[in-house]
Amino acid sequence: MKIRRQAFALMTALALSSCAVSGSGRVIDNKLILKDNSGIISQIKIKSITPKQSDNVKDNSKINFTEQKGIWLSYIDLNELFYQKSKEEFIKEFEKVCLNCKSIGVNTLYVHCRAFGDALYKSSLFEKASTYGDIDYDPFEIIVDTAHENGLSVHAWVNPLRCGTESDIESADESFQITKWYKSSDDRLGFKDSNGHYWLDPAYDDVREFICDGIAEIIDNYNVDGIHFDDYFYPTTDESFDEIAFKQSGADDLKAWRTENINKLVESVYKTIKSRDKSIVFGISPQGNIGNNYEYMYADVGEWCSKDGYIDYIVPQIYFGFDNSVLPFETCLDEWSVLVKNKKVDLIIGLAAYKIYTEEEFVENADILLLQINKIKKLNNYGGYSFYNYISLFPNDAQKALEANKHIDNIKKTGGR
């Protein structure tokens, strides 16, 4: 029976060899990685098979796509889906996540790995996050392996500067660098926001090096396809945030100085990634309102989108409806299309799936995401789109699921399977 299953699986894989990867198997080092009907993974040695590269898969050693269709799996999603799950339950539930994503055409997962200066993976640099509860297995290893078995790309999503609250850091091991800076009242971790979270100051070389070390740790230990930042850069415009570092710098323009600090951080992270594996991509998801990035986060998105050495892709969060009174979707979309001048930078548009329950235009129009995707695809520099967030499209709540399914049915019309 087992031989028959393997033979059938091999025949199926050969039939699907027009793709570099498929949901059922993929070729790695002359082995075909497959799952039989029982879910058992097997490796069948095969003769030289060179699958025809799909038009949508970039020609590199990682699973990345020329048309990126992404979805964010935030620490909130992960907590709701996987808290206190056994290893077996986790594997089963994450397989379901992959199948759900594939059902709407999603090929790329932005998975939270560090949200508050803590680690949702095994780390020697950051305190273990409480997101998954008290577990004794490595959830991120399962995520990467399972996603790859399903032909999905995994980008490790990191918030580089935001850290935990006082109680979080107080309870952390004193050997961690964040704890050391906190205990010594170092200006590198001197600012606490209105929610009680401490923030790292990117003005310091060693802070930027520390963030790069954290990125390197993920790359060195996990077979990730990308690294992903969102819009958490400077948390405030308050001059007190980095007053000491600014005085020491000798600079006289605070805005320009802060902007350059973030540019140095982004550039350093990019170099760190490429020094380890050039085929790993680096992307950032800034705010949709271009001006807000400059005025409040000191994020020089224009620089990143016009010059080499910063990013491989950008995912502006265009979380606006067509009728938005401040910044309508199409206006914002056109502004970003003009801004992305570097042809090496892929423009991927972030869409507000979470608003299907909260904002009138999204609630009343079940085809709004479909219409937005159709508009995006008409861009000259179209590179894809991404949904925030997973739990909004695939909620556990039955009533919400009825609403989400209306939107999902329309999303599938754009190319979801």
Report the DSSP beta bridge partners of residue 72.
110
Assess whether 40 and 110 both reside in one domain: no
**Number of residues written out for the chain:** 417
Q: Which token pair is 327?
A: 């910044």
Task: Tell me: pLDDT of 416 over 80.
Answer: no
Prediction pTM value: 0.86
The tokens 């801004």 sit on which residue?
A: 339
What's the pLDDT at 48? 28
Pairing of strands 25-28, 31-35: antiparallel
The sign of the CA dihedral 254, 257, 261, 266 is positive
Task: Tell me: pLDDT of 74 over 70.
Answer: yes
How far is the CA of 186 from the CAs of 199, 265, 334, 368, in angstroms? Answer: 12, 20, 43, 48
| CB-based burial, 286-307: b 16+ in 10 Å, e otherwise | bbbbbeebbebbbbbbebbbeb
What's the pLDDT at 86? 98
Assess whether 48 and 64 both reside in one domain: no
Give the count of domains, the chain. Answer: 2
Supply the range of the domain harboring residue 41.
Answer: 1-54
Do the Cβ atoms of 314 and 305 come closer than 8 Å? Answer: yes
Assess whether 399 and 363 both reside in one domain: yes
Which DSSP string corresponds to 356-368?
A: GGT-HHHHH-TTH
Do the Cβ atoms of 138 and 121 come closer than 8 Å? Answer: yes
pLDDT digits (tens, 9 = 90+) for 338-370: 999 999 999 999 999 999 999 999 999 999 999
* Last residue in a domain, options 54, 77, 98: 54
Q: Which token pair is 66?
A: 């020329």
Assess whether 81 and 200 both reside in one domain: yes
DSSP for residue 277: -
Assess whether 33 and 182 both reside in one domain: no
Do the Cβ atoms of 272 and 310 come closer than 8 Å? Answer: no
Do the Cβ atoms of 104 and 411 come closer than 8 Å? Answer: yes
Instruction: Kindly give the interhelix angle for 368-376 and 329-339, rounded to the nearest 10 degrees.
Output: 30
Assess whether 4 and 118 both reside in one domain: no
What's the pLDDT at 37? 31
Range from 34-38, 61-65, 221-225, 246-250 carrying the lowest mean pLDDT: 34-38
Assess whether 99 and 230 both reside in one domain: yes
Assess whether 36 and 75 both reside in one domain: no
Do the Cβ atoms of 154 and 224 come closer than 8 Å? Answer: yes
Task: Tell me: pLDDT of 14 over 50.
Answer: no
Assess whether 305 and 370 both reside in one domain: yes
What's the pLDDT at 382? 97
Task: Tell me: pLDDT of 417 over 70.
Answer: no
What's the pLDDT at 61? 79
Do the Cβ atoms of 126 and 116 come closer than 8 Å? Answer: no
Tell me, rounded to whole angstroms, the distance of Cα 19 from its chain centroid.
24
Assess whether 244 and 362 both reside in one domain: yes
Task: Tell me: pLDDT of 336 over 60.
Answer: yes
Do the Cβ atoms of 154 and 225 come closer than 8 Å? Answer: yes
pLDDT digits (tens, 9 = 90+) for 301-317: 999 999 999 999 999 99
- pLDDT (average), residues 253-273: 98
Q: Which token pair is 10?
A: 């091999």
What's the pLDDT at 184? 96
Task: Tell me: pLDDT of 395 over 70.
Answer: yes
Assess whether 227 and 86 both reside in one domain: yes
pLDDT digits (tens, 9 = 90+) for 279-309: 999 999 999 999 999 999 999 999 999 999 9
Higher pLDDT, 66 or 61: 66
How far is the CA of 229 from the CAs of 267, 303, 370, in angstroms? Answer: 13, 16, 26
* Last residue in a domain, options 13, 39, 54: 54
Assess whether 26 and 92 both reside in one domain: no
**How confident is residue 59, by pLDDT bands cut at 50, 70 and 90?**
low
What's the pLDDT at 57? 75
Task: Tell me: pLDDT of 1 over 80.
Answer: no
Domain of 196: which CATH number? 3.20.20.80
* 29 CB burial (10 A radius; 0-12, 13-18, 19+): exposed
- pLDDT (average), residues 382-403: 97
Higher pLDDT, 38 or 252: 252
Q: Which token pair is 349?
A: 């548009």
Task: Tell me: pLDDT of 242 over 70.
Answer: yes
Closest CA to 140 of 116, 151, 329, 128: 128
> What is the rounded CA–CA span in Å between residue 183 and residue 170?
8
pLDDT digits (tens, 9 = 90+) for 19-49: 333 333 333 333 333 333 333 333 333 222 2
Task: Tell me: pLDDT of 204 over 90.
Answer: yes
Residue 325 neighbours by CB distance under 10 Å: 7
* Last residue in a domain, options 19, 38, 54: 54
End-to-end CA distance of the chain, in Å? 30
**How confident is residue 58, by pLDDT bands cut at 50, 70 and 90?**
confident
pLDDT digits (tens, 9 = 90+) for 217-236: 999 999 999 999 999 999 99
The tokens 């808290």 sit on which residue?
A: 83
